[in-house]
Amino acid sequence: MDGCIFCKIAEKKLDSQIVHEDSEVIAFEDMNPQAPVHILIVPKKHIIDLLHLSSTDEGLIGKIHSVAKRIAKERKIEKGFRIICNCGEEAGESVGHLHFHLLGGRRLEWPPG
Ligand code: 5GP
Ligand code: ZN
């Protein structure tokens, strides 16, 4: 989608440090990491957020979590990691293209802010 940062990253029109890519999903380092491991896992298809997820795209959510599991193992953060999907402005969503944060490599507090 025109003007969408994550679509541009998926189309390689914007640089990123890609850690995984397949036909449906791309994962790359967050440019403003909040933990030693902070990776964004993103469907290549432009879906605004979870509220805009259609039933035909449900499979993508499982796939994204499988990718998260693989990266968590690769980065050796099995001791503790978190997958976060901010939905809506009050939850801190700042990019309107569905994405999941994979965070780990340090103790993560609960509840989150
Ligand atoms: P949100 O706040 O929407 O849940 O998360 C958006 C995330 O995208 C933020 O953690 C922010 O640092 C990251 N981000 C925004 N623009 C870019 C970019 O151009 N490249 C990368 N790698 N990360 C970005
Ligand atoms: Zn997009």
Q: Catalytic annotation on 46?
A: no
Q: What integer best gives the mean pLDDT of the chain?
A: 97
Q: Which ligand is nearest to the CA of 48?
A: 2
> Is residue 103 domain-resident?
no
Q: Is the pLDDT of residue 1 over 90?
A: no
pTM (global) more than 0.85: yes
> Is residue 109 domain-resident?
no
> Is residue 42 domain-resident?
yes
> Is residue 102 domain-resident?
no
CATH code: domain of residue 55:
3.30.428.10
What is residue 26's DSSP assignment?
Answer: E
Q: Report d(CA 42, CA 11) in Å as an integer.
A: 12
Report residue 41's pLDDT band, with 50, 70 and 90 as the boundaries.
very high
- pLDDT score, position 70: 98
Q: Is the pLDDT of residue 17 over 90?
A: yes
- pLDDT score, position 52: 97
Which residues have their alpha-adjacent CB atom under 5 A from ion ligand 2?
1, 4, 6-7, 46, 97
Q: Is the pLDDT of residue 113 over 90?
A: no
> Is residue 112 domain-resident?
no
- Sign of the dihedral defined by the CA atoms of residues 20, 69, 79, 90, in that order: positive
